[in-house]
Structure 1
Amino acid sequence: MGVIAPISFLRRLDSLKATSALALGAVVYLIFIVIYYYANPTQPLPSKDEIQLINFTPQFLTTLPIFVFAFTCHQNIFSVYNELSDNGQSMLNRIITSSIGSAVVVYHIIGILGYLTFGKTTGSNIIQMYSPTLLVTIGRIAIVILVLFSFPLQCHPCRACLDKVLFAVGEYWKSTRFGKNAAYNSLTAHDTEDDHVHPHTPTGTADHGGSNTEISEFKYVAMTTGILIASYIIAISVKELEIVLSFVGSTGSTAVSFILPGSFYYKLHKNDPWTKRKILSVCLMIYGWLIMVVCLTANIRRVIKG
């Protein structure tokens, strides 16, 4: 908490450049460990008969949400967009492509080589499966660094969304007490002034992160502190990270990655003719709901059965 808390209170994503660079360095080191121990195994590698290219089991439904979670970075896209000095569409496309592309490469290297090293015995935390050498010990420290410095990147959009939710709840309460018209006008003003994404705006003048530029210092500190405390309680209460990632992937990540993008596109083009993109947006939304219902059910059954 002593490391996470100070950097979680930073208002801009570009203030996290140094910590993010360290986290990326930790990822590179973890890749090195996986490659090194595949090339220089400390135990016999599994035979070719043990390696299965395709192995579909019911456990797939509890593992799929982890993959969804692994590629979910949508929650930060608006803050990134607003803080870019060149936030044209081509630049944004390059950033998205390079981010997702590099993630694909990293996941494939660690996943494939880890499986080829341990076979069916591969666990959810592959670093724990290696012999406790100096290289592996440093690798475990690298995981700690990676998790520590990834948290502020998630705290930033969480705080912004919490601000919007609290504002909406406050306006709803005002509407029931003082009249709907005044609350509606206030809500509209908040959305147009604070939530607007300014295209082609220099970083120095951009409205980064929505209402974070207008929020009072007390509210900002209170929300951040609340997020930190809630996260800490969850962290010390959960014994298996895999279960947490499965539930988060089944709910939040699925909604952010599939359901909401499809819903937003359909809503924006509701009165337009049915085009290929409109059809695909509906399919994406339906696919997201299926993933959420099926995978969440599988994870709940898994927890109940123990």
Structure 2
Amino acid sequence: DTVTKVLVRMFGLSPTALLARRDFVVLLCAFTVVIPLCLQKDMARLARASLVSLFFVVFILTAVLLRFFTFFSLPPTEDAFQFYNSGVIPAIGVMAFAFMCHHNVFLLYSSIEGASQEKWDKVTHFSVSASFIVTVAFGLVGYITFTGYVQGDLLENYCWNDDLMNLARVVFSATILLTFPIECLVTRAVVEAVWQRLDTPRSYTAVTIAIVMGAYVLSVSTDCLGIVLELNGVLAAVPLAFVLPAATYLKLCP
């Protein structure tokens, strides 16, 4: 959605143009960027893509901070800074989704050169702390900028004739494209552990493409990022982050 709207804005495309169709743009990105990265067998090979994605996040945060000081004033909204309201429960799901990394642990640990508990502690503590700071910065700055008018997708709040934020939208889309392969590798590892038949290049490629195409079908079936994050948080992140680790510990150490 984001890239499509930016392309329409930049090139003045008609609504019927091929590049104005979100399903085509997403499919094009899947085959040109996502699938080649997902076909990697070693998560360590995605380190450079992850580093680029990290720089992209810093750029987006910088753009949001800049617009915080230069954006025009909005009319005040009632109870904009109330400590608790009806949106706190969905917000917990979104936050849980943002910090959900438990399913990546084994592949990430195995990708560390000379992995040890000390190295793993440093990596996890730094990563989670940095993620927390960035997430809080996005949340605070984004909400203070728009208060009661804020939408679930922060970048949707900014004008479509704002070139800086349009660039931030494109960069955000690139971040998603570079992040998805890590999740794909984890999913494929689970399939491989259960199926145990990915011993040929053909089956390996087929499973990878099937995973990407499944995600593609789900992505084009909705255009509301907020509800997707909320559902993912409730249905996937909460069990993975809070329920299953505790249940596993109780099973191993009764």
Deviation string, structure 1 residues 19-64 (Cα, Å, up to 9, x no partner): 21221111011110111011222x115659754151221x322332
- 1:242 and 2:216 correspond: no
- Which residue is 1:124 aligned to? 152
**Kept after mapping to 2: 8 A contact 1:8/1:152:** yes
SS at match of 1:3: helix
- Which residue is 1:38 aligned to? 68
- Which residue is 1:70 aligned to? 98
One of 215, 219, 226 as aligned partner of 1:231: 215
Q: TM-score under structure 2 normalisation?
A: 0.82
Deviation at 1:139, TM superposition (A): 0.5
Q: Which amino acid aligns with 1:90?
A: E
One of 220, 228, 233 as aligned partner of 2:204: 220
- 1:80 and 2:108 correspond: yes
Change (3 A) 1:64 1:153: same
**Kept after mapping to 2: 8 A contact 1:46/1:116:** no
Q: Which amino acid aligns with 2:195?
A: L
**Kept after mapping to 2: 8 A contact 1:74/1:257:** yes
Q: TM-score under structure 1 normalisation?
A: 0.69
Q: Which amino acid aligns with 1:152?
A: P
Which aligned pairs between 1:36-115 and structure 2 lie closer than 5 A?
36-41=66-71, 43-45=72-74, 47=76, 50-57=79-86, 59-115=87-143
> 2-side partners of 1:108 and 1:8: how far apart?
30
> 1-side partners of 2:208 and 2:117: how far apart?
31
> 2-side partners of 1:160 and 1:25: how far apart?
28
- 1:24 and 2:63 correspond: no
**Unaligned stretches of 5+ in structure 2?**
1-29
Change (3 A) 1:46 1:111: farther
- 1:252 and 2:236 correspond: yes
- Which residue is 2:172 aligned to? 143
Q: Identity over aligned residues, as a percent?
A: 24
Report 1 or 2 for greater relative contact order, CA contacts < 8 Å, sequence distance ≥ 6. Answer: 2
Deviation string, structure 1 residues 263-287 (Cα, Å, up to 9, x no partner): 11111112xxxxxxxxxxxxxxxxx
Change (3 A) 1:7 1:53: same
Q: Which amino acid aligns with 2:174?
A: I
Deviation at 1:217, TM superposition (A): 2.2
> 2-side partners of 1:234 and 1:34: how far apart?
29
Q: Which amino acid aligns with 2:218?
A: I
Deviation at 1:165, TM superposition (A): 2.9
**Kept after mapping to 2: 8 A contact 1:46/1:119:** no
Deviation string, structure 1 residues 272-305 (Cα, Å, up to 9, x no partner): xxxxxxxxxxxxxxxxxxxxxxxxxxxxxxxxxx
- Which residue is 1:161 aligned to? 190
> 1-side partners of 2:152 and 2:105: how far apart?
29
**Unaligned stretches of 5+ in structure 1?**
168-210, 271-306
Deviation string, structure 1 residues 182-240 (Cα, Å, up to 9, x no partner): xxxxxxxxxxxxxxxxxxxxxxxxxxxxx97xx33232112111101111111111121
Q: Which amino acid aligns with 1:155?
A: C
Change (3 A) 1:138 1:269: same
SS at match of 2:85: coil
Deviation at 1:141, TM superposition (A): 0.5
**Kept after mapping to 1: 8 A contact 2:53/2:174:** yes
Deviation at 1:128, TM superposition (A): 2.0
**Kept after mapping to 2: 8 A contact 1:46/1:118:** no
Q: Which amino acid aligns with 2:117?
A: Q
> 2-side partners of 1:220 and 1:129: how far apart?
41
